[in-house]
A and B are shown apart, each in its own frame.
Chain A
Amino acid sequence: MARKESKKARKASATKEESPQRFNTLVVNGDKYRTLYTEKFKNRKKWVKPDQRKIYSDIPGTVLKLFVKEGQKVKEGDVMMILETMKMKNKIIFPIDGTVKKIYVSEEERIPKGHLMIELK
């Protein structure tokens, strides 16, 4: 990880001593610039069109109870699970009608934010 480089190494990397091949290309309005990338820029997430049938966690927490099974038909507003976060028991509800295609989590499982929990058909 570049973050773990010593400060001196990092300073050197930002001066002219830099070997030319470390430079990258940045395109702004059709013009191509030779420049260095930052870590943040390198790690930026590519945008993907949200798919409503794939349900991700909005908050991290522990799955306390699951109310649905694979193959089950569900309606918008039905309770999917209880997700406990910061000592709060949150009811997670289905955003659309559909049939449960796959469940990616199990009870007692601790999941991070943005975790794929359930996929609908």
Chain B
Amino acid sequence: MSLKRKILELQKKREKVLQGGGEKAIEKQVAMGKMTARERIITLLDENSFHEYDLFVEHEARDFDMDKKILHGDGVIIGTGTIYGAPICIYAQDFTVAGGSLGLMHARKITKIMDHAMKMRVPIIGINDSGGARIQEGVNSLAGYGEIFYRNTTASGVIPQISVILGPCAGGAVYSPALTDFVFVVDKISKMFITGPEVIKTVLGEEISMEDLGGARVHSEITGNAHFYSESEIECFDQIKKLITFIPWNNKQKARSFDVKEPLVDKYKIDDIVPGNPKEPYDVRDVIRGITDGSDFFEIQEMWARNIVIGFGRVHGDTIGFVCNQPLVLAGVLDVDSSDKAARFIRYCDAFQIPIVTLVDLPGYLPGVDQEHAGVIRHGAKILYAYSEATVPKITVILRKAYGGGYIAMNSRHLNADFVFAWPGAEIAVMGPEGAANIIFRKEIMGAKDPDKMRKQKVKEYKEKFANPYVAAAKGYVDSVIEPEETRKLLLHAIEVSKNKVDRKPIKKHGIPPF
């Protein structure tokens, strides 16, 4: 056979395998409103940048007549490519091939590309669309999952790991996304759960749809399992591309720098956003946008635990991680969910050399039996742990109130913040004036002829004496009381002078965070 004929043969072989599960299965996929696995990769990556490997991999299952079945690519596509020029390793499960079910060789392909990503120190993106374990392959399929989880854990904090849920992702399969850094979901397409509606119905008699049990909205609003929500696959891919611009390729590199853009100061007048009365709400994202380049803020987990806001923005072209109390929702209190949300993000930023800016305005931790019984002590401790442990530049700006344990938790000087700035309206105190006056002047208030009048007077006294940034500034807990307009300039300065920060912690295998 001449080489030409051999080339022809290769082309034919390729063509056949590239059909995946065949026309009918593809039609079904399209009818479900989904793109095919290969379309997804091609749409997500830079044009013509994708190169596929292991196209000709075949499964080895022999039981249950599996030896008679041909599964093209064994239901998963792996390869490398680029996003805005950044190298990426990627895999996408192909639902058209045996429902994207995971067998031994399918898993081997995934672990191979994961190993490759680790060696090359580039991000790994996994597109999940699978009916679950390939039952016919028995324990081999379980082994496959386990080998993926092990690699997810090893790679954690070394290379960025992104999971995209574009179909069902059920049972053990959900634990790979859960171990990765960012999970993307799409309305009506993504479904994640440990136990499906059918099992729940037969065993427990509870009837629930897949969407209500583990749809995109559920994981974006209720569970916090998902980080990014979108209404179409295209929107989802745009979000992934945007995320890639904010994060580095690995933990030894810095995120890419972009051209400096000034914030839209006419739209986000930083002097006017925060009301003087600490009991009045405002949207802290307006303050962030008043600081960041081009007023661009890329929010993470925007629908879950909305009392804290996390996400990326740039200051002078460089990526910054923002962690901010949100007075608009639940007065910006810390609670079980918001502590969890912030702590994980702080650890992400710390692992990938992204400086953290913390904007503080909170009345403390959320009171309530439900919170106490849900373990607000150990969950709340996560945020203390994460800030204390982080060695990236840590800059705090106290916008308004910072009371009690909340003040300490939000990257205070005492947790080794590098810079603590406070706006002139900041109130740094053990608690709000009313609560404090009621305790400190209890006897005076109770003994007065007109207790209400006395209470008002004492609250006023307390406000004048303690509800300001100067008591903390007098002790050096606040480095500088600044005008809101100076915030961006000072953040930039703080980041500039922190570039060579060295903060060596004692050598240890690892700490024991309050997981």
Contact with A along B203-217 (1 / 0, CB 8 A): 111100000000001
Tell me, yes or no, whether A10 is within 8 Å of chain B by CB: yes
User: In the docked arrangement, what's the CA distance between A16 and B328, Å?
Assistant: 9
User: In the docked arrangement, what's the CA distance between A2 and B231, Å?
Assistant: 17
Residue numbers in A under 8 Å from B332 (CB-CB): 35
Measured as residues with beta carbon below 8 angstroms from the partner, the interface class of chain B is 35 or more
User: In the docked arrangement, what's the CA distance between A110 and B332, Å?
Assistant: 42
Contact residue among B333, B363, B364, B368 (Cβ-Cβ distance under 8 Å from A44): B368
Q: Is the interface of A mostly helix, strand, loop or mixed?
A: mixed
Tell me, yes or no, whether B88 is within 8 Å of chain A by CB: no
User: In the docked arrangement, what's the CA distance between A63 and B283, Å?
Assistant: 51
CB-based contact B328/A36 at 8 Å: yes
A41-B438 CB under 8 A given contacts A31-B363, A33-B281, A60-B205: no
Residue numbers in A under 8 Å from B306 (CB-CB): 14, 38
Tell me, yes or no, whether A28 is within 8 Å of chain B by CB: yes
CB-based contact B328/A14 at 8 Å: yes
CB-based contact A41/B432 at 8 Å: no
Residue numbers in B under 8 Å from A14 (CB-CB): 283, 306, 328-329
Q: Which of B270-296 contact A (CB under 8 A)?
A: 279-283
Residue numbers in A under 8 Å from B303 (CB-CB): 10
Q: Which of A1-54 contact B (CB under 8 A)?
A: 3, 7, 10, 14-16, 23, 26-41, 44-45, 47
A30-B205 CB under 8 A given contacts A35-B281, A39-B221, A47-B369: no
Contact with A along B328-341 (1 / 0, CB 8 A): 11111100010000
CB-based contact B366/A28 at 8 Å: yes
Tell me, yes or no, whether A71 is within 8 Å of chain B by CB: no
**13 A-B residue pairings within 8 Å (CB atoms):** A7-B231, A14-B328, A28-B333, A29-B432, A31-B435, A33-B363, A35-B327, A35-B330, A35-B331, A38-B306, A45-B370, A61-B203, A85-B204
* Supplied contacts A10-B303, A29-B403, A33-B363, 5 more A-B pairs, CB within 8 Å: A14-B329, A34-B279, A38-B329, A41-B330, A44-B368
A residues at B contact (CB < 8 Å)? 3, 7, 10, 14-16, 23, 26-41, 44-45, 47, 60-62, 85-87, 110-112
